[in-house]
Every structure is written in structure tokens, then in C-alpha cells.
Structure 1
Amino acid sequence: MFRHNALRYAVLVALSLAALFQALTAEYFGLEILTEILILAVLVLALDMVAGFGGQVSLCHGALMGVGAYVYALVSAKAGIAPPVAMASAVAVTGVIAWVIGAICSRSHGIYFIMATLAFGQMAYAYVFEAPVFGGDDGLSGISRLDLSLFGIDLDDSRSFALFCLAVAGAVYGASVMTLQSGLGRSLTGVMHNEQRMRALGLTVWRVKADVFGLSGMIAGLAGVLAAQHVMYISPGLLSWTVSGEALVVVILGGLGTLVGPLIGAAAFVLLKHEISAWTDHWHLVVGVVLIAVVMSGANGIFGWAEARWGGWLERRMADATRKHEQEEVVSDA
């Protein structure tokens, strides 16, 4: 079951303060980078929920993100329905689709689960690419952002939209923690560690996997809505398997099954991409080298490495304190 510790709380506070400071002080380009990080953070939180705590390594979360973006665009821009209703519709539709995918793939494991989700993602990409209603290769434009003028907030302003994305990312993180600490989350963890035993105890395993995959899909759909509102344009490339692959790289880079780690991974990935792309178009090579170094180190990503070192330091401190206390008791007894 997911639990917070002092280090995780400290990292969360540090990341939140850094993002808030950037949102309040950065200029346009800095705000765009921050918004990109926050949208990616929402997506990788969704992926870490199923991959890190359920062992369901998915390569269709990019496609689910794209589904959320396209549903929002069609309902708001094409049908002319208010953005709040369009957002709710996009999240709900993506959640239903993700639940169906999770139910179908629930009996597969390992590489077979990965390939099955990849197939679903590619089918979605091909359909959107070919269907005229989705604009084909040209995509869809004219997408509007949520109207919060009633509260005196103009989301057409880059700073306001970055702060909005920060609030959404915080809410998603809280919802993810609540889900993983609930009975459903504990059942998912049990299934990952020993599926046969959980089935013997009477648990409907496929339903647990499908339910969590559906919730994860809703979060991915929300990330798609934010992405559509951010750029105000979407194309089939948003559903490409490479988007799912990058999300998986971010989760592994930050720390699989930690929730906090993927947030670090999202920030590191986007910053590396923008900094290195200023020098060369082959920035993927540098990110690949970093990922290989992290994997070969044996640590669970950047945060996993830090957590292991912090845990060892804490254990040594506790052992020293216990030994000192025992020595003081011996002296006092003498």
C-alpha cells in the first residue's frame, strides 16, 4: 500500500513551492515549460497508478490522453457545448474506454499486456487519423479554454492557466493517493504481488484491474483536456505510441511505484528536452543515456535512489541512537 514518509512530504513541498514560484515569476516561455511539465505530470501519475502499483505496464495511455483531448474538442468546438460539460464528458468517455481496455487485457501479463495495450493505442491512432470527423492529419483547431471569468480568472492568460494546471495536478495527486490507500488500491497491490492468492481469497481480480485502469484512464483523459486547452489545437500525433513510450520513460526515470518520483521525472524530462534541444536535435540520445544510467545503477529511478540513500542514513541514525541509549542504561545500572 502507498504510504508517505518524511522524504516524500519534503519533496512534494519542494516541488510545489518551486512550481508556484515559477508560475508567479516566470515570463511567457517559462510559463509554457511549466505548463508542459504539469500536464505531463498528470499523465504519468495516471500511468504510475497502474504500472507501479498494479504491474500493468501500459502503452496506450498516450492514446487515452488523445481520446480525452479529441472528445473535449468535438463536444466544445464542434457541438458548441460549454467547456465544463465538455471536460466532464471527455473524462467520463475516456474512463469508460479505459475500463473496457482494462477488462479485456486483465487476463494477460507482462509483455502480452504491453503488446495488447499497444495494439489498442495504435487502433485508436489509426481510426482518428483516417476519420474525417476528427480532421484527419490536419487535426482540430479553435479549441477554447475553460471560462472562469465568473471567479475573476482569465485562463487565456498564460500565468493563470499555469496556476490552474498546478491546482489540477495537485488535486490529481491527492485523488491518486486516496485511491491507492483505499480498499481498491490495497486489492490492486495484493493482485500485483500474488494474483493467485487474491483470487483464492474470493477477489474478482479482473474487476479490480479494470476499475483501477478506468480511474487511471479518467486521469489520462483529464491530461488530454489540459493539453487541448493549452495548445488550443490537437492532431493525431497526440495518440501516437511514442507519447505513451515517453510517459513510461518518465515514470521509470523518476521512480516507478512512488507517485512522487514521476513528478520529478516529468520535470527532469521536459527540462532536459528543452535545454538539450537548444544545442542539438538529437536530444533523445542524451535522455536515453540518462535513462540507461539510471536503470543500470539498480535504483528505482532518481527518487528511488534518493529514497534508498535517505533510508539507509535514517536506519544508521536510529541504530546509533538505540546503541547510545543502551549504553546510557548500562552506565546508569552500574
Structure 2
Amino acid sequence: MKHKVLVGAVITTLLAFLLYMANMKRVEDAKLTVVGPKTSKVAKKKAKEPKVKTLKEPKVNSIEYSNHVKAKSGSNKKLVKIIKKTMGLDDSYQVVAQDLNNSNHFAVVSNTAKAHNANKAMKLFLLIALYEQEQKGKIGNRTAITIKKADKVKGDKMLQTNMAYGIAYLREAMLRGNKTASNALLRKIGVANVDSVAKRMGATQTTIAKNFNGDSYGKTTAADLAKTMMGLYQGRVLNRQHASRVLSTLASSKDRPSLVDDINGGVYAIGDHDFAVAIVQGKGNAYCVSVWGSNNKNFAKLGQQVNTWFSKKRK
């Protein structure tokens, strides 16, 4: 009997131990969840995703493309059509054509408004500044300028350092393309004075280079060149006598831009590979035409077409 009681006790103890171990295992595996009082519960906010900025497409008119050709308000529609057809849509360009006897007859057509690098065309501003200094009595035909080392351009055999040359001789050399002569004249007149002439002529987008050594002598626009040439014709900055001398100098130059290749009559022009500006006087008409282009292949045709339009009766 005692033996049975002992066995039962052992079995009971074993079962109790197994039950205890099972409970311990369940406690270890259980997830601990802490629940605070309702008053202290903090609701988590969802983190907002950062806003992604949507890039707006730029306005078509804010970008300069060759096919975005604009005409200034008031431009003659027939003349605008002629210019557009002649210049096409493959290249960038600026064209100004203005009747000098009738302010209502004009066309300003372009697909770019900014100033561009210019070469020989910039000599127009230096030429006007030279004659203004002469008009003021600061220089004259007897004025001589000594070529300095800073003026001398590599490879130039025409002008020698430390030699003095007459201003008329240097002016002619400049118009024939001599950079040393251009530098000497620019130094004599001063960049600030040339820049002042440009601004007083209305060339507000024009800047003059410190020297004419490189391929660019500064920046300008077709509109600025047109304003300057028309200023000469109208007696701005220079009096009639000195304005006539500038125009005569341009008329006698053998280095004429392709813009006026097919134009006869009184032609006063200056230009380079990218720019050209001219005043043309014919029978009963006088006008100014100016152009800048990323390609000059149509310059001669443009000059001829514009000349034909101004030569005919217009409505």
C-alpha cells in the first residue's frame, strides 16, 4: 500500500514539473504588449512623402529656335514675307529694313534677340568715334600715332613698332583689315569713347573689345548697327560734314559685304562674315538694311530682294 502511495506521489510530482516547464516555455514565447492609459496614448502620424516638383515645359517663345521667327509690331507684312522666304527656317538671323523717308515702311524680323560676336562690322563704331574726335578738334589730318608693342599683331609686316603713322593712313589700313592699325586707333581714341559713341547712337546691346587682336572685336546686333547707320544719316552724334565723311569712307571701301553685291546706286556699307549693314540711295528712295546670320549664304539674295521692294511702289 505504501509502495503504491509512493509511486503516485512521484507521478504527481513529475506531471507538475512537466506542466511548470510547459508554462515557462509559453511565457518565453509570448509577445509582450504594453498598453498605456488612454490619456497617454500617442497616435503616430504617417510620414508625408516629399513633394516632387513637376518641371514645367518652357514657353516656346522663350527659347530661340530657327523656326520661331518674330516680326516687330507694325512691320510691313509684304516685306516681312519676303525676308522670311529669303532667310528660310534653317538658320538663326536678325534682319532690319527701314525706309529713311517714311518711318511707316519697315520690317524687323528675327528668331534671336541677343548680341553676337562681330568682326569688321565693329569698325563702324571706331570710325564714327574717330571723326567725332576730329569734329571736337582733338585730332586732325596731321595727327600721327606711334605704333607700340601692344598694338602690334603677330605677322603684320605693314606697320612697324616705334614708327609714327598719319591718322588717315592708319584709318585706311584699318578698313583694309589691318589689326595693328585698328589697335593703334582704338588706343588713341579709347575704348570708353567708342563705347560712348555706340550708346549715343542707340546701340544699347553693343560692347567693344579691349583690342582687335582676336576674331571678335566685340558684340552687337543687327538692330544696333541699323540704329547707328540711321543715326549717321539723321545727324546724330556727328554733324552733317563729318557724317558725310564717314559715309564717303564706307562708299569708297573696296571691301564690301555680300549683302550689297547685287545693288547699284549710292551704297554705304560695312560688314563681315556674320554681320552687314548698309544705307542705299536710289531713284526716289533711301533705306537702311542690316543683317546678322549664323549662315551668310542668303545675304546677297536678301540685299537684292529688299532693294527690289524699296525700289517699287509700296502699299
Q: Fold conserved (TM > 0.5)?
A: no
Query: Whose radius of gyration is greater, 1 or 2?
Result: 2
Question: Normalized per residue, which structure has more strand?
Answer: 2
Give the TM bin, normalised by the shorter chain.
under 0.3
Name which structure has the greater RCO, CA cutoff 8 Å, separation 6+. 1
